[in-house]
Amino acid sequence: MTPPGTHTYGEIISQPTAWAEALKVGQGAASQVQELWRTSGASELLFTGCGSTYYLSLSAAALARARGLPARAAPASEIWLMPESVTPAMGRSLLVTVSRSGETTETVRALAAFRQAGGRAAALLTCYPQSTLAQQTDISLAIPAAQEESVAQTRSFASMLVLSQLFIGALAGDAGLAQRLKGLPGLGEKLIASYGGLASAVGGDLSLDRFFFLGNGPLYGLAEEAMLKMKEMTLSYSEGYHALEFRHGPKSMVEPGTLVVGLLGDRARTQETALFREMRGLGAQTLVLADQGDASGLGEPHHLVRLGSGLPEGERVVLYLPILQLIAFHRAIAKGLDPDRPRNLTAAIIL
């Protein structure tokens, strides 16, 4: 029997290799993606998934909108059960299903409901090329290197996020995107090596008993995903919010024993750093992930992770994930839990 967390840890630290495959898959499929968009007659993107992949969809839709592409995200269950509440005209949407396994019942049924409501074109971002959804969508982009033994998504989520960036870049006609992103795997390896100790220390600090993850724009979906990893792996109180929304009620929960984690972007940097400083003043510990900057300019956080990419926030998004995943992993181990097999959960929900 393998020690608890063996698979999860291996999947987290090996993910830069899977990112490299995602870059190759996305670059190789660019013309196919562009042709599907052209022939579909679609005028908007509709991203969907369940759990982690719904949060990925939120980030992907924000990334697409930032490039001028009309886009929205909805949980697969909403498209399946109440499609009229998602969009009144499915025929104008290109559905992008995101599913690690390609077998999740709600996403399979969402695709069927989309077709029944007049939707014509659908794509899949996945880790399994022979899945049910792969057979039922018009194109399927798969990253086998991102497959996982663990229940909680880490390597798969990050790799499908990179793949979504290339998918969106193809639709936006950005031929240079893959070249600009080619350094991401190396940056990911450097981050894991540089901040693995910090992740172990923060995750192992059992004086912390509540966690809040804050991000704006495409980083909001990642804040929600970090929240989910903390809940799944560690059974801890954890929530995610748009950064400045945290003042509107949730900050009442801040006290000693709280960790406020900021996924710092570019456009709201001044306002977000003021928020982190305020939360520190209320007694919270703070951890900030930022591309550049020193602690004095970032709200004086207790913990600072510098991504060091030099990329705009819409291109560096995947770099925010590994250290947050490792913090959840180390907390699970410190609590005597097995992050490979979170309580009450399975890798795919089959109804």
pLDDT in tens, 238-272: 999 999 999 999 999 999 999 999 999 999 999 99
pLDDT value at 3 more than 70: yes
Share of the chain above pLDDT 70, in %: 98
Count of domains observed in the chain: 2
Q: Judging by beta carbons within 10 Å of its beta carbon (0-12, 13-18, 19+), is residue 129 exposed, middle or buried?
A: middle
Q: Is residue 158 within 8 Å of 318, Cβ to Cβ?
A: yes
pLDDT value at 351 more than 70: no
Q: Is residue 327 within 8 Å of 321, Cβ to Cβ?
A: no
Has residue 273 been placed in a domain?
Answer: yes
pLDDT, residue 88, reads 73
Residues 138-171 pLDDT 10s: 999 999 999 999 989 999 999 999 999 999 999 9
Res. 21 pLDDT band, cuts 50 70 90: very high
Indicate if 17 and 122 belong to the same structural domain.
yes
Indicate if 146 and 243 belong to the same structural domain.
no
pLDDT, residue 348, reads 64
Quick one: CA torsion of 317, 145, 64, 214, rounded to 10 degrees?
A: -30
pLDDT, residue 209, reads 96
Q: Is residue 139 within 8 Å of 29, Cβ to Cβ?
A: yes
Q: Is residue 228 within 8 Å of 51, Cβ to Cβ?
A: yes
Has residue 150 been placed in a domain?
Answer: yes
Its domain, for residue 92, covers 6-181
Q: Is residue 283 within 8 Å of 255, Cβ to Cβ?
A: yes
Which tops the pLDDT comparison, 312 or 90?
A: 312
Has residue 25 been placed in a domain?
Answer: yes
Average pLDDT on 296-314 reads 94
User: Of the candidates 181, 205, 228, which is a domain's last residue?
Assistant: 181
pLDDT value at 350 more than 80: no
pLDDT value at 315 more than 90: yes
pLDDT value at 237 more than 90: yes
Average pLDDT on 278-289 reads 96
Residues with Cβ < 8 Å from 343, sequence gap 6 or more?
A: 235, 337
Measured CA distances, 140 to 331, 332, 348 (Å): 36, 34, 18
User: Of the candidates 181, 210, 228, which is a domain's last residue?
Assistant: 181
| CATH of residue 260 | 3.40.50.10490
Average pLDDT on 190-217 reads 98
Strand partners, 93: 44
Residue type, 113: A
User: Of the candidates 181, 201, 236, which is a domain's last residue?
Assistant: 181
Residue type, 244: L
The span from the CA of 74 to the CA of 227, in Å, is 18
pLDDT, residue 165, reads 98
Residues with Cβ < 8 Å from 101, sequence gap 6 or more?
A: 126, 127, 128, 131, 347, 348
pLDDT value at 347 more than 70: no
Has residue 348 been placed in a domain?
Answer: no
Res. 64 pLDDT band, cuts 50 70 90: very high
Residue type, 187: L
Task: State the chain's mean pLDDT as an integer.
Answer: 95
Phi-psi bin for 138: left (phi > 0), alpha (psi -120 to 50), beta? alpha
